[in-house]
Copies of this chain bind each other. A is one copy, B any other.
């Protein structure tokens, strides 16, 4: 009859790789059906229960206890297996050895002072302490450990921001620094694309795809998956963007994140707009509207982000900047955009496109009910009025047939010193006014003249909808609007994008400032050297890539006793 035998060891520490090896060795012993070797956390105990490896003794184990449990075909087999634990643990020691193993980061630093990086992959409860020690020595931290609280993360990143250091993580699976992979990382070509990722396999997948497509990477900065949460506020992500924007080798930047806080995502994008380089953005599950905006290129997924980045890196685009907008033409105080539409759908689409540029655009027929214009006859801030809505057409002609109401409103808006931009649509075809631009064009000229007399500049943007076969003729309508001084397009998207860029530039919204101490770029540019604390395989991997690395023979301080650890920590901070 099958028998389960358990051994609990308290106050010992082995890294997870050693535990896995022990578990496998036990499970492969004769007469053993299954084995589990884990720390006694709630989650691990649940797992053991799930695979029929639990006993009352296991249930009582504490998170600091090492739980060794075997199920044998009979009592004898199980007991014999447990008897071999120490032998198996000893046998598993060894591996790629370095001549001398320091017991502390300080010791390692004495051996390899050029190391700019410390890789930390110890158990979560010890990780913050190790990371702080690294920062005290002025090192960037690659913090692989998970099960680190968000409060610890905030504190660590705060300290890093003040010191101009990077804390990648916690739970940062991967990074690529100057061609060297840290943690889980693929061997990818060096190139001209830099990546910042709050997404471990996101970084791996995008960089692998870039390599598969023939492109290459400068640096891949991991931040940990929580970096774009509201609490953490994208500290490392911003550092990464700012760093890559300064790096002359990086021509294109890719940003990847697990589902971010929408607010933080928008703030991060404001900084990204200032990068002065094309930036490909893939924030998972963030709704897309425009595929491209200024220097930002929005990808629909990881594969697409890689494709876009490689394409852009090969054909660097001329970037849209605010310089060509002629902002100097406008007077101080002119900042608002007012849309006076006759077509409801065009008015909706205008709102939808402008939402990518401006935080709030009011409307009488709003997409977002919170942005309902309180009074359709009175404009406020940025707003879009659809004059074809029922409220304007009871017992009167539709504004496509009768321009009067729209022209009245146009002149009112032109007289408002806070208005900079007016949007009009001109919809021709059967049913419409026989020659709308013959009235709207001169009205635009009058509106612009009125503003000019008052020392202002008014930009009137018109979208003309129709065909060359319409009775009013598309070209003739476009020409008359141009003659009136309007900026004209037959594409609603093009017109609204121009309007959005202009209004945003005039509004001069705050945000996107980088206020942390800049990270020293040369620490990423010189050949990587590192100190490794935790999973030994991470040191082996760096060595295999030709990077100097010192592995620390780390043990939990005070034998894992948390009270003693806290005292030690306080002593060090003095």
A residues at B contact (CB < 8 Å) = 16-17, 19-20, 23-24, 38-39, 41, 43-44, 46-47, 50-51, 63, 123-124, 146-147, 171, 173-174, 181, 183-189, 197, 199-205, 208-209, 211-212, 225, 256, 258-259, 284-285, 287-291, 300-304, 342-346, 348-349, 351-353, 367, 377, 388, 390-398, 400-402, 404-405, 408, 425, 427-432, 465-467, 469-471, 474, 490-494, 537-538, 541, 544-545
Known: A20-B396, A345-B258, A467-B211. A391 touches B43 (CB 8 A): yes
The 4 closest A-B pairs by CB, nearest first: A201-B343, A39-B395, A202-B345, A186-B429
> From A46, which residue of chain B is reached at the shortest CB distance?
B377
User: How often does this chain occur in the complex, in copies?
Assistant: 2
| Residues of chain B contacted by A343 (CB below 8 angstroms) | 200-201, 204-205
Interface of A is mostly: mixed
What are 27 of the A-B contact pairs (CB < 8 Å)? A19-B397, A24-B404, A44-B395, A50-B377, A63-B394, A147-B394, A173-B388, A185-B431, A186-B429, A186-B469, A187-B429, A187-B430, A199-B345, A199-B348, A201-B342, A201-B346, A201-B465, A204-B343, A204-B466, A205-B343, A258-B344, A290-B300, A301-B352, A302-B345, A304-B493, A430-B544, A430-B545
A368 to B, closest residue via Cβ: B285
The answer to whether B290 and A41 touch across the interface, beta carbons within 8 angstroms, is no
A41 near B397 with CB under 8 A, answer: no
A95 to B171, CA, bound (A): 78
Which of B124, B146, B345, B400 has a CB less than 8 Å from the CB of A205? B345
**Shortest Cβ gap from A275 to chain B (Å):** 22
Q: Is the CB of A20 within 8 A of B402?
A: yes
Q: In the complex the two chains form, what is the Cα distance from A290 to B301 in whole Å?
A: 9
Of B300, B344, B351, which contacts A200 at CB under 8 A? Answer: B344
| A16 and B469 contact, Cβ closer than 8 Å, known pairs A205-B492, A390-B146, A430-B187 | no
A188 to B431, Cβ gap below 8 A? no
Q: How far is the CA of A183 from the CA of B208 in the complex (A)?
A: 55
Most B CB contacts (10 A, CB to CB) among A16, A23, A428 go to A16
Judging by beta carbons under 8 Å apart, are A344 and B225 in contact? Answer: yes
Distance A351 CA – B50 CA, assembled complex (angstroms): 25
Chain B nearest CB, measured from A285 CB (Å): 5
CA distance A542 to B291 in the complex (A): 40
Report chain B residues within 8 Å CB of A201: 342-346, 425, 427, 465
Residue with the greatest number of chain B CB neighbours at <10 A, chosen from A17, A256, A429, A430: A430
Residues of B near A425 (CB, < 8 A) are: 201
> Across the interface, do B431 and A184 meet the contact criterion of CB distance under 8 Å?
yes
A208 to chain B, nearest CB (A): 5
* Residue pair A469, B188 in contact (C-beta under 8 Å): yes
A147 contact set on B, CB distance < 8 A: 390, 393-394
Contact B303 A348 (CB under 8 A): no
Chain B residues with CB under 8 Å of A397's CB are 16-17, 19-20
- A353 — which chain B residues lie within 8 A by C-beta? 301
Contact pick for A465, options B204, B342, B431, B545, CB 8 Å: B204
Given A41-B394, A394-B44, also A492-B302 (CB < 8 A): yes
Q: Which of B19, B345, B393 contacts A395 (CB 8 A)?
A: B19
B-chain residues with CB within 8 Å of residue A212 when the two chains form the complex: 467, 474, 490
Tell whether, in the assembled complex, residue A205 and residue B258 are in contact, meaning their CB atoms are under 8 Å apart. Answer: no
Q: How far is the CB of A226 from chain B (nearest CB, A)?
A: 11
Residues of B within 8 A of A344 (CB): 199-201, 225, 258
Does the CB pair B303–A259 fall under 8 Å?
A: no
Determine the distance from Cα of A544 to Cα of B432 in the docked complex, in whole angstroms: 14
Inter-chain contact A43/B187, CB cutoff 8 Å? no
Q: Are B204 and A430 in contact (CB under 8 A)?
A: no
- List the B side residues contacting A205 at CB < 8 Å: 343, 345-346, 427, 465, 492
